[in-house]
Structure 1
Amino acid sequence: MRTEWRWCLALLLLVGGSSLATAEPVTLESLLGEMTNRDTLARLPEPSYTCSQASSYDRNTVEPDDHNSWMANADRSQWVRIEEREVDGKLRKEFVMMDQEGPGAIVRLWATWHGPQGKPFSNGTLRVYLDGSDTPAIEGPIQQVIDQGLLAGAPLSQGVSPETDYRRRGHNLYLPIPYAKHCKVTYSTDVLMDIGARQGEALYYQINYRTYAPETEVESFSMEKLAEAKPAVRKAQDVLLEEFAPQANSSAESQATLAAGKSIEGEFTGSQAIRELSLKLEADDLPQALRSTVLKIEFDGEPCVWCPVGEFFGIGYQPSEYRSYNTQMNSDGTLVCHWVMPFKKSANFSLKNLGTQPVQVAFQAKASSWQWDDRSMHFHSVWHELYKVDTWVGADRPGDAAYDVNYATIEGQGVYAGDTLTVFNGAAAWWGEGDEKIYVDGETFPSHIGTGTEDYYGYAWCMPTKFAAPFHAQPTGDGNVAGGFSVNSRYRALDAIPFTKSIKFDMELWHWASTKVNYAPTVFFYARPGATCNIQPDAEAAAREIMRSRAQLGTLFAIEGALEGENLKVASKTAGVTTQQRSGTWRWSNEAQLWWREAAEGDELVVEFPVEQAGKYRVEFGYTKAPDYAKVDLLVNDEKALSLNGYDTQVTTHQGELGTFDLLEGTNRLTVRITGHDAKAIQRGMFGLDYLKLDRVDR
């Protein structure tokens, strides 16, 4: 039913004014040229197309009024169907990821994976069949196809930071794959592949694809045509990576110190397009200035941009040097954007200081001529923040109270071009399990359903490592699993989403911990004059104090006066590994513990703890039990305290008393000696110390 509707929409777009009779055919080269022509997004697409997504989203996601259905989370190893194909006298099972009538083009392919139950991934075969052929146009190990250079090198084929373990990366292919009539994408492997990967290999994937009107001429991809297109591929790679310097014939600039509540203004007149905005702020509290200094732009008398400058330039409110295709922060702190912003008669822009401190501003805008026509669009950016919102409202388990956050709902005609998400995470647990749901032109079921927030932004497995590529970036990810600040951006080129009447973008807020978060999406889109958006300027939100710590957010659980186990010095150990283990799930003080693992019976761990004044103290402690924790003896300054069985059927946290001891001024010792394992335990030689707490009793 949805497929038929999308075809009707394509026909309506065709009737609406595409000049297909004179249009050049869509080819690999033309798509690469479109990707790297910054003007393209600022005009309604020609030839017209719709953009949709095939993904491994949980197929139980069917009914918005059924919460368990709508927030289903087994977003892996889900398929259109499973086929069997006879090859050389043997049956080969192929899992169909996408099956779509053309003409069209795949414009982004993202994936990540893991093997069955902790085993290595099989790196099975990805095949792309075009125009009904039984011979794949593309065939190879999935890792090589997507990000190891079988089709193209970076940035057309690019994962995330090389510092991230390869098994924990998101993998992105932006090389377009056009097709004239039909496209089918499959995956095959010799290992177990069960639906939802409850036991077998897990493949998470998203495929963004265009569908053109039926009469559109498209030249289908082939490896031979890819070879012929090598010069165009190299040129596109160079353009995406080069430092851009636009040609401009007019500019406006200003330098000023903005007192609280003050602003600077500028304007352009005539039919032009802003090609570059650059901005440098200086303030005693620069992070606060990045949030409380707001950029406002009106094009042809219509309010189009209202956004804190940090979010507008993709860094949230934490300075971080990085560069994408659209935005960047240079090493000297200068913020730059290259969104093309056309206008017919005028552009009026201002920077206003909504904060309480003075901010020094150096601002420049560059513009050049633009021929305004009936396909030209205004650039828009809107921002809002959900402040100190709860993640589990009336729920006992992760996901039970997940809910959809509306990034924006736009009425009118235009193109969705990207977004930035700034998060302050209130717990040492992953905040972004939720999926995007994008409804175009009144769809009752979204044509885009994702597999996780980080997947949408091009990475995977909630990795905190910084990365920056032309179309996906994480300038700061520290808050992903440790709690605190993170910012992600996705910028769209060939995968931009046209809409003729409306677009609604929702993202699930699906957190693994019951906590609070600040959640601030910024949306970028182009629209014909007269378009409206439900997100309105919120000066109060931009002016309020930024979140800098989880204590400020009120979500950091800590035992008052505790000596945190994870911060104590490990004096010695006879075997095993000691690390800080962080989690917001287990109710550890400071959401962390000292974790000793890979030890055996008879091994000892000695931890030092300080005492300011000698005396008799009652020593309390926090500890962990779990299915793979050991039996231990605990000694304080070589005096036996107690024996402890660390086994439990699940991970649990406990508080207890070691006893009363004469402690020395300065350094004292806690010794942990492994004495064996419970008969029911998994024997992994583990022990977890949450904290020590000293209470003097001889005064």
Structure 2
Amino acid sequence: MKKCLSLLALIGLLALPGGNVAAAKKKTTRLKPYSWTSEVELLKRVDLLPLYRDGMVEQVSSYDPTGGNEDGFAGKYSYIRKEGDKLVLAELEGPGVIQRIWTPTPTDDMLEFYFDGEQTPRLRLRFSDLFSGKVYPFVKPVCANEIGGYYCYVPIPYAKSCKIVFCGKKIMFHQFQYRSLPGYDVKTWTGEFTPGERDMLASVCRVWSEISPACTDYAVGQSEGARLVEKRFTLLPGDETVFFEQRKGGRIAGFEIDGGASFEGFDRDVLLCARWDDDTRPAIHAPLADFFGYAYGKKAMRSMLIGCRGDVNYCYLPAPFDARSELKLRYVVREGARQNPIQVTTRVWVNDRARDIRTEGRLYTAWRREINPAKGEYYKFLSKEGRGHYVGTVHQAQGFLAEMTGFFEGDDSTYMDGKMRLHGTGSEDYYNGGWYAMLDRWDRGVSLPLHGSLDYSLPMARTGGYRFYMNDKLSFEREFYMGIEHGPSGNEYPVDYTSVAFFYGETPATECMEPTQRLRTVCIPDRHTFYPQAMRLSLGNNAQVRFGDFPRGMTVSSRGTGLVRVLLEDVPEGRYRIYFDYYAKPNGAEFSVWQRQGMLSDWRSSKAQTEKLVSRFYAGDIVLTPQTNSVSFQIRGNNYRSEFEFANIYLERIPE
């Protein structure tokens, strides 16, 4: 009887329009709902971060597939093909949504988006207007520029396909990040927006504009109804203090730790630890300063999710658990050092909504530090098996050569479920930045809602960045790997990298590094280079300065005796030998070198019949303190006709 019914059913299906079972299944398959409003809302719904999500995030970028560093400088790999006098940048199969667009080199050439095989672009605008805030809905601060990079997080959905075309002769660096949406009922971009859609985008912009985020800002959905648990205690060396524990299912909506300035400094001896349920490995096990985005002993990060607000260290990443949770601080004893007691206040917001094990992951981190990673190998942020999604990276990068921060040229690379899905175009590019060592680009620490620069110091050869994922979190079903190069190519640059990777999943990271005393100590280089384009100057006595193109230096001229003072910032106090480069040339002036009112080198002529570079001229020994961290050049001019051009300044620490 069952066989007869099956046969009759099959005959009925074949009689449907289209004449096959597949057509019938296609008609009866119910697509999952998807809307532009819900996609935009993800940019502020922190409470939804634990939710698993289907659909793979991938990226089209201008990276050099040969492994070199031609990631956009010449534009060789910045397009797929030419169509007439236009450049095709990407061809994406739908349904899907573009979630992030980045470039450090926008132009006023037109950018066209062709949807679903159409011959006319529905979206056409200047490339620069994706970020300018002049064209709706590409509004600030979700579309803007800072730290040298231009970024756009306004979602651009497509039902069948999207072709992106650049109407110019040359495009340089770019990244287009998108998410596939199989099984979703996606409506293609129209450029028309309802009042509700406009209101949602405006509410996201308000959240992103908040400079002092609070846990209550995200107290919606599963994070609603959280009660505050507060604790005050003194943390002594050797102590291990549990500041929150719950023996039933629930959800930590966020927590704060206030220790004043006690967590700053070169010794990162306070560890933050967490454990969920029956896990045999810790969920969080990291120096507190690294977790909250300190940069080399100083508070630095202030994102909408994690960072420092005054003396308060905050984390608003939700942490659901099944039956048990524990948060604690460990104050590790440091051999041969005096450690002071720390007065601590903690605040934890928690409710009793246990994790839905079918749809949510638990919050985990992976702290790592490698001093001189192996040559030829990427530095690893996270390698993980199982199901989950990646939501953030905090990264400190110290170079061991006293030169330009070339180690930050390395590309990031991400593999999910056995395939490389994202490949970047440079380290600062991964953090939505660009153009390090250039004024008002990647030249200092700047915090934005989801990304930023932690620090930038040429004399210390160090920098760092952070990036968090909201609507574009990186989902995986079986395995995940993310790493970054150290150096422009070949992973050959000697570095000291520290990172914290944030993800949600079923189990902790399998590779849990122990923060030993050596790994908890900030590295202090003993050689430093100051480059002209990043020097802080003061001029006196009619001195005039002009800068040459890199690698030339700065040229000083004056009427009579002029003075140029250079601040030697960032370098720790101590005794140093000081050297500098200068150019001897036919119109060279006389110069002498001073520290405050003390002469280091006597008057010397920079005049020569033909121009030549005098490298590493020894000026003398100096003592650097916060009050004496400068060096001055005095110039004897001749009505501005004589000039003195100097370039890099070098410091070498004198051993005690």
TM-score (ref. length: structure 2): 0.76
The answer for the alignment partner of 2:177 in structure 1 is 208
Query: Structure 1 CA distance, aligned partners of 2:429 and 2:579?
Result: 40
Matched, 1:359 2:342: yes
The answer for the alignment partner of 1:671 in structure 2 is 636
The answer for the alignment partner of 2:364 in structure 1 is 380
The answer for the alignment partner of 1:489 in structure 2 is 466
Matched, 1:538 2:514: yes
Please tell me whether the aligned partners of residues 315 and 487 of structure 1 are also in contact (alpha carbons under 8 angstroms).
no
Matched, 1:653 2:653: no
Cα deviation for residue 487 of structure 1 reads 3.4
The answer for the alignment partner of 1:187 in structure 2 is 166
Which of 428, 451, 461 is the matching residue for 2:425? Answer: 451
Query: Structure 1 CA distance, aligned partners of 2:272 and 2:602?
Result: 64
The answer for the alignment partner of 1:468 in structure 2 is 447
The answer for the alignment partner of 1:596 in structure 2 is 555
Query: Structure 1 CA distance, aligned partners of 2:150 and 2:411?
Result: 17
Matched, 1:498 2:475: yes
Which of 202, 211, 216 is the matching residue for 1:234? Answer: 202
Which of 377, 381, 393 is the matching residue for 1:407? Answer: 381
Which of 130, 155, 168 is the matching residue for 2:115? Answer: 130
- Alignment deviations for residues 586-630 of structure 1 (CA, whole Å, 9 cap, x no partner): 8xxxxxx97316x6xx98774599xxxxxxxxxx9854349xx66
The one-letter code of the counterpart of 2:99 is: V
SS in 2 for 1:144: helix
Query: Structure 2 CA distance, aligned partners of 1:524 and 1:123?
Result: 37
Corresponding residue pairs, total: 561
Query: Structure 1 CA distance, aligned partners of 2:138 and 2:645?
Result: 48
In the TM superposition, what are the counterparts of 1:296-307 in structure 2 within 5 Å?
296-302=273-279, 303-307=282-286
The one-letter code of the counterpart of 2:205 is: Q
Query: Structure 1 CA distance, aligned partners of 2:305 and 2:110?
Result: 34
Change (3 A) 1:81 1:256: same
Please tell me whether the aligned partners of residues 36 and 197 of structure 2 are also in contact (alpha carbons under 8 angstroms).
yes
Cα deviation for residue 212 of structure 1 reads 1.9
Change (3 A) 1:177 1:260: same
Change (3 A) 1:43 1:21: farther
Cα deviation for residue 206 of structure 1 reads 0.8
SS in 2 for 1:311: helix
Query: Structure 2 CA distance, aligned partners of 1:106 and 1:608?
Result: 51
SS in 2 for 1:44: coil
Cα deviation for residue 141 of structure 1 reads 1.0
- Alignment deviations for residues 15-69 of structure 1 (CA, whole Å, 9 cap, x no partner): xxxxx95664222112112332223221211xx20010111111323xxxxxxx5
Please tell me whether the aligned partners of residues 277 and 363 of structure 1 are also in contact (alpha carbons under 8 angstroms).
yes
CA RMSD of aligned residues (A): 3.9
The answer for the alignment partner of 2:56 in structure 1 is 50
Please tell me whether the aligned partners of residues 293 and 353 of structure 1 are also in contact (alpha carbons under 8 angstroms).
yes
SS in 2 for 1:408: strand
Which of 409, 414, 425 is the matching residue for 1:438? Answer: 414
The answer for the alignment partner of 2:41 in structure 1 is 33
Cα deviation for residue 328 of structure 1 reads 3.1
Matched, 1:104 2:82: no
Change (3 A) 1:668 1:49: closer
Give the share of equivalent positions with the same residue, in percent: 19
Query: Structure 2 CA distance, aligned partners of 1:238 and 1:288?
Result: 36
- Alignment deviations for residues 239-281 of structure 1 (CA, whole Å, 9 cap, x no partner): 3445440344444332222111211113123221110110011
The answer for the alignment partner of 1:17 in structure 2 is none
- Alignment deviations for residues 563-607 of structure 1 (CA, whole Å, 9 cap, x no partner): xxx89986545754379x9x9xx8xxxxxx97316x6xx987745
The answer for the alignment partner of 2:528 in structure 1 is 556
Please tell me whether the aligned partners of residues 606 and 671 of structure 1 are also in contact (alpha carbons under 8 angstroms).
yes
More displaced stretch, 242-251 vs 351-360: 242-251
More displaced stretch, 487-496 vs 147-156: 147-156
Structure 2, unaligned stretches of length 5 or more?
1-27, 437-441, 566-577, 593-600, 621-631, 652-656
Matched, 1:510 2:510: no
The answer for the alignment partner of 2:394 in structure 1 is 420
Cα deviation for residue 493 of structure 1 reads 1.0
Query: Structure 2 CA distance, aligned partners of 1:668 and 1:370?
Result: 66
- Alignment deviations for residues 457-512 of structure 1 (CA, whole Å, 9 cap, x no partner): 011111123322221122x4232x34355331100012111111111111011169
The one-letter code of the counterpart of 2:327 is: F
Query: Structure 2 CA distance, aligned partners of 1:409 and 1:304?
Result: 15
Matched, 1:170 2:145: no
- Alignment deviations for residues 297-346 of structure 1 (CA, whole Å, 9 cap, x no partner): 11112121112222222234544476322113213x10111101111111
The answer for the alignment partner of 2:582 in structure 1 is 624
Change (3 A) 1:673 1:98: farther
Change (3 A) 1:604 1:469: same
Cα deviation for residue 372 of structure 1 reads 1.8
The one-letter code of the counterpart of 1:209 is: Y
In the TM superposition, what are the counterparts of 1:573-584 in structure 2 within 5 Å?
576-577=545-546
Query: Structure 1 CA distance, aligned partners of 2:33 and 2:503?
Result: 27
Change (3 A) 1:279 1:632: same
The one-letter code of the counterpart of 1:27 is: S
In the TM superposition, what are the counterparts of 1:81-96 in structure 2 within 5 Å?
81-85=80-84, 93-96=85-88
More displaced stretch, 347-356 vs 531-540: 531-540
Please tell me whether the aligned partners of residues 251 and 321 of structure 2 are also in contact (alpha carbons under 8 angstroms).
yes
SS in 2 for 1:135: coil
SS in 1 for 2:259: strand
Cα deviation for residue 154 of structure 1 reads 2.0
Which of 584, 587, 590 is the matching residue for 1:634? Answer: 590
Query: Structure 2 CA distance, aligned partners of 1:534 and 1:672?
Result: 66
Query: Structure 1 CA distance, aligned partners of 2:319 and 2:91?
Result: 36
Change (3 A) 1:669 1:57: closer
SS in 2 for 1:524: strand
The one-letter code of the counterpart of 2:283 is: C
Cα deviation for residue 676 of structure 1 reads 9.2
- Alignment deviations for residues 668-693 of structure 1 (CA, whole Å, 9 cap, x no partner): 9653669999xxxxxxx772166799
SS in 1 for 2:511: coil
SS in 2 for 1:236: helix
Query: Structure 2 CA distance, aligned partners of 1:173 and 1:457?
Result: 13
The answer for the alignment partner of 2:191 in structure 1 is 223
Structure 1, unaligned stretches of length 5 or more?
1-19, 62-68, 86-92, 114-120, 162-168, 194-201, 394-400, 559-565, 587-592, 610-619, 659-666, 678-684, 694-699
